[in-house]
Amino acid sequence: MSFTWFVGSRYLRARQKQAFISLITFLAIAGIAVGVMALVVVIAVMTGFESELQNRILSIESHVLVMRYGESVSDIDATVATIESIDGIQSAIPFIYTQVMLRSPHGVTGAVLKALDSSRPGPPIFVGKQSPLADALDDAAPDESAGRAPGLIIGRVTAEKLKVSVGDPIFLISPLGKGAAVNQMPTVMRFSVAGIFETGMNEYDGAMSFVRLDVAQRLLQMPGQATGLEVRVTDIYQAKPIAAAIVARIGFPFWARDWMQMNRNLFSMLRLQKTVMFIILTLIVLVAAFNIASALIMMVMEKTRDIAILKTLGATNRHIRRIFVFNGLVIGCLGTAIGGILGVVLCSILKRYPFIKLPGDVYFLTTLPVSLQPIDLLIIGFSTVVICFLATLYPAASASALDPVDGIRYG
């Protein structure tokens, strides 16, 4: 190996008359570096997008959703106590979920009304200046003696559509009204904007609205009832077996779905995009690998006489192959290291200074998330070195198959 290293390192230091080979070698290193840098940055962005989206969804939605087939949950306290007795469960929160219309003097928009029990620990949504949702719901309690309407918490996008701010009146229209089915009239109830939240996800900020559970029960004529239960667990990746344990404990007609089932299509799409982007950007590395093969082929043609002399002095075909494989791997590893360092630096800059903004009405997020995982960095580096190694096989085999007599005669 010392002989291979000595001769290979000499061949990498091209003389003046071999400047063209040196230029091709430099372009091969640059191509590998650019490809690795692009792979690192894109995979880090895709991983960050998936991670950030997962965190934001889980900060709003439940880990496990428990409901009954065709009817609401009436025995709330007993059901909550049964569910919370299962290992791995933090809390079970009753909720009411329905579609409504919101109207202000400046506009009308549809919304999803979600009513939560503020006395129980809910999702970590913050309203206004980092005020927890539960505290905001407590402040939104109606006061009939003072003539204060119940409070409604809406998202930033909804507030912009209706052109309202905290304290402004707003009317909620529910299709579940009073009267017979033939002449049923929608229920209209006056609220005041008690808070405006912003999750950074326009899909939620423009659709969700929150109210106290007792207010929604009175509005929808559901005394002592709830649409279902939101269950939060200690380990989100154990949500699926916990959902099965809940159904086994409380039995039919209850059913439960974990957060991975509810968002399966979304996360499957993100993983597929990440895989496709990895394959596409690997083509950049393949192009650079062809440059490595070209540089080695030209080096073999230039060193024909030297190879013949080495064989005459006793070098075997294996030694010759190792020399040129060593040269190709040095070029590939150097390009991989440079590209990896540049990619890590660029990811650090993007993470520290999120100057790239995303349109919130197109994407779920408004800033470009970056999350560089060591395993992704290792996979990119290993894949690149393997491609570079494969690119060296043909030139190395051609050099080892050279006849020393022909090499000395025509070299």
Mean pLDDT, residues 374-396 = 89
For residue 353, is pLDDT > 50? yes
Q: What is the mean pLDDT of the chain?
A: 80
For residue 389, is pLDDT > 80? yes
For residue 129, is pLDDT > 90? no
Q: Are 90 and 133 within 8 A, CB to CB?
A: no
pLDDT band of 97, cuts 50, 70, 90: confident
Q: What is the pLDDT of residues 270-281, one digit of tens each?
A: 788 888 888 888
User: What's residue 166's pLDDT?
Assistant: 84
Burial (CB count within 10 angstroms: exposed 0-12, middle 13-18, buried 19+), residue 389? middle
User: What's residue 16's pLDDT?
Assistant: 44
Residues facing 71 on adjacent strands: 68
User: What's residue 283's pLDDT?
Assistant: 83
**Which segment, 197-201, 239-243, 316-320, 356-360, is predicted with the most confidence on average?**
239-243
For residue 327, is pLDDT > 90? no
Mean pLDDT, residues 216-240 = 86
User: What's residue 125's pLDDT?
Assistant: 54
**How would you label 55-64 residue by residue, b for 16+ Cβ within 10 Å and e otherwise?**
ebbbebebbb
pTM of the model: 0.72
pLDDT band of 143, cuts 50, 70, 90: low
What's the CA gap between 154 and 385, in Å, rounded? 52
For residue 182, is pLDDT > 60? no
Q: How many C-beta atoms lie closer than 10 Å to residue 12's C-beta?
A: 15
Q: What is the pLDDT of residues 2-17, one digit of tens each?
A: 767 667 666 666 554 5
User: What's residue 124's pLDDT?
Assistant: 55
The domains of the chain are located at 2-58+266-410, 63-258
